[in-house]
Structure 1
C-alpha cells in the first residue's frame, strides 16, 4: 500500500502524540525536577516486573520505559520485523520477499520466516548493527533471537521517522485477525488508544511468554511479558491508566 510520506508524517506527529508521549513527558518531567530522580516511567506507575515496557516519540532519544526496558529477552515473532526490514531494503527485490514479508508481519507466519532466514541468515544481526540495537542478536536462528523492548521501540520509531511509507508499517496496520497458527491477534499494546498498527509475538513452548509492539501518531510502544497475553494487556492498560489519571478532568 503506497502512502504519501508527508501526509503520514504530518498525521503521526499530531495531537495524539501530545496525549500519549506528551502525557508521559509531563508527568515524568515534573518528577525530574526532584533532585536525584532518574527519568523513566513516572514513580506513581507500577508495572509488574514480569512486563518490560518502552514508549518512544519520533524525537531521537525521547522516550520512557520501565527499569527493565533494556533487558535482553526472547524476541519471539517480533524478530520478523527485523527480518522483513532487511529483506525489503537489502534483499534481492523479488516479489517473493515482499510476499514472505507480508505473511511474517500480518500473519506471523513461521514458515515464511524460515524461508527468509534461510535466504538471509544474518538479517537480524545486520539490522541490529545498522540501528544500534544493543540487545538484539540473531541467536543462531530467528526463533532463538533476542531483543529488548527499548530496541524494538527505537527501531519502530526510526522507521516512522525516516521511512514512514515502509511496507512494514502498512502491514502492521493490516494484521490478520488470527495468525497462521490460529492465535488471535488483539492484545497487549494493540489495546491502547489511537494505535494504528501492531505486531505480536508469543512462545509455543515452555511457560507463557508474549510480546507486542505498536505505533500511533507520533509514538511507538513495546511490551514483553513473562506471562499470558491477558496479563500483558492488564499491565499495559494499567500503566496507561495510571499515567493519564492526573490528566483526567475534575468534576
Structure 2
C-alpha cells in the first residue's frame, strides 16, 4: 500500500474506530481497541505507554503516561515538524529532517536546532504538549508518551501528507550511529511507521512511537530495547487481543 493511501486509510479508520468503541461496538474491519481490558498494573512502572485513536481525546495509557521524561531522539519529530512548517522552505531543511527521522542523525538535529533554537518549545505551544520542554537543547529536552502520541495523531489527522509520516514509514535499518532500529512499538501488528530514541550515556533508556490504521502508540522505558518490547506487547495483548504481534 502506498503511503498516501495508507495514511488516508489510517485517518478514516481512526475516526470509525474511535466512534465504534464509544458506541460499544467494533468499527470498520479492524479489531477494536478494548479500553475496559487495559490494566496498567500489567505494565512495569519502568515503561510509560500511550495509545491514541485519531479522534481528539480518544485514547488510553498507563497511569504514568503524562510523566515528563527524556525526549531522547523523539525530539527530532518536533524539530523536523517545525522546520518543515515554519522554516525557510530550503532543500537543506528537508534533507536534515529526513536524516533526523529515518536515521536519527544527531548532527542533523544539531544543525536544525542551531537554525531554529526555539523549535521544540514552539511545537509544545502549537500542539498543547504540556510535558514537552527544550531544557536548553534537544538532547536535554523532555516530553511524555501522551504528548508524543497526541502530536503524531494530530499530524495524521490534520496533515496526512506530511513528509514526516513518509520518513517514519521508511526508516533505515540502522541509525547514523549504527544502532539497529527494530524494537518497542515497531513490533506491534499493523504498524506503518516508527521513530525510535535511545540514550548513549548512563543507564539504558529507550523510546519509540508508531502509527497504524486508526491509532498512534508511544512508549518510553527506563531499560533496554528488549524490555520495552516485552512491556509494549504485554499491553497490546490486552488492548487488542484479536491481533498477534510481529515476531
The TM-score normalised by the length of structure 2 is: 0.88
Residues 54-84 of structure 1 deviation map (CA, whole Å, 9 limit, x = unaligned): 0000000000000000000000000000000
How far 1:44 moved relative to its partner? 7.4
When residues 92 and 84 of structure 1 are mapped into structure 2, their CA distance, relative to the original with a 3 A threshold, is: same
Residues 196-242 of structure 1 deviation map (CA, whole Å, 9 limit, x = unaligned): 00000000000000000000011000000000000000000111123
Task: Work out which of the residue numbers 187, 195, 219 in structure 2 matches 1:191.
Answer: 187
How far 1:243 moved relative to its partner? 3.1
Residues 15-41 of structure 1 deviation map (CA, whole Å, 9 limit, x = unaligned): 89558783234x35xxxxxxxxxxxxx
**Counterparts of residues 38-77 of structure 1 (less than 5 Å):** 42-43=38-39, 46-77=42-73
How far 1:173 moved relative to its partner? 0.3
Give the root-mean-square deviation of aligned CA atoms: 2.1
d(CA) in 1 for partners of 2:60, 2:40: 14
Name 2:33's counterpart in structure 1: 23
Name 2:231's counterpart in structure 1: 235
When residues 60 and 85 of structure 1 are mapped into structure 2, their CA distance, relative to the original with a 3 A threshold, is: same
When residues 66 and 95 of structure 1 are mapped into structure 2, their CA distance, relative to the original with a 3 A threshold, is: same
Q: Is contact 1:21-1:63 (8 Å) kept?
A: no
d(CA) in 2 for partners of 1:44, 1:11: 26
Length, aligned pairs only: 231
Query: Does 2:169 align with 1:173?
Result: yes
d(CA) in 1 for partners of 2:30, 2:12: 11
Task: Work out which of the residue numbers 138, 143, 147 in structure 2 matches 1:142.
Answer: 138
Stretch moving more, 15-24 or 74-83: 15-24
When residues 238 and 3 of structure 1 are mapped into structure 2, their CA distance, relative to the original with a 3 A threshold, is: closer
d(CA) in 2 for partners of 1:224, 1:101: 22
Q: Which runs of 5+ in 1 are unaligned?
A: 29-41
Q: Is contact 2:104-2:176 (8 Å) kept?
A: yes
Name 1:9's counterpart in structure 2: 8
How far 1:3 moved relative to its partner? 5.8
User: Which structure has the greater CA radius of gyration?
Assistant: 1
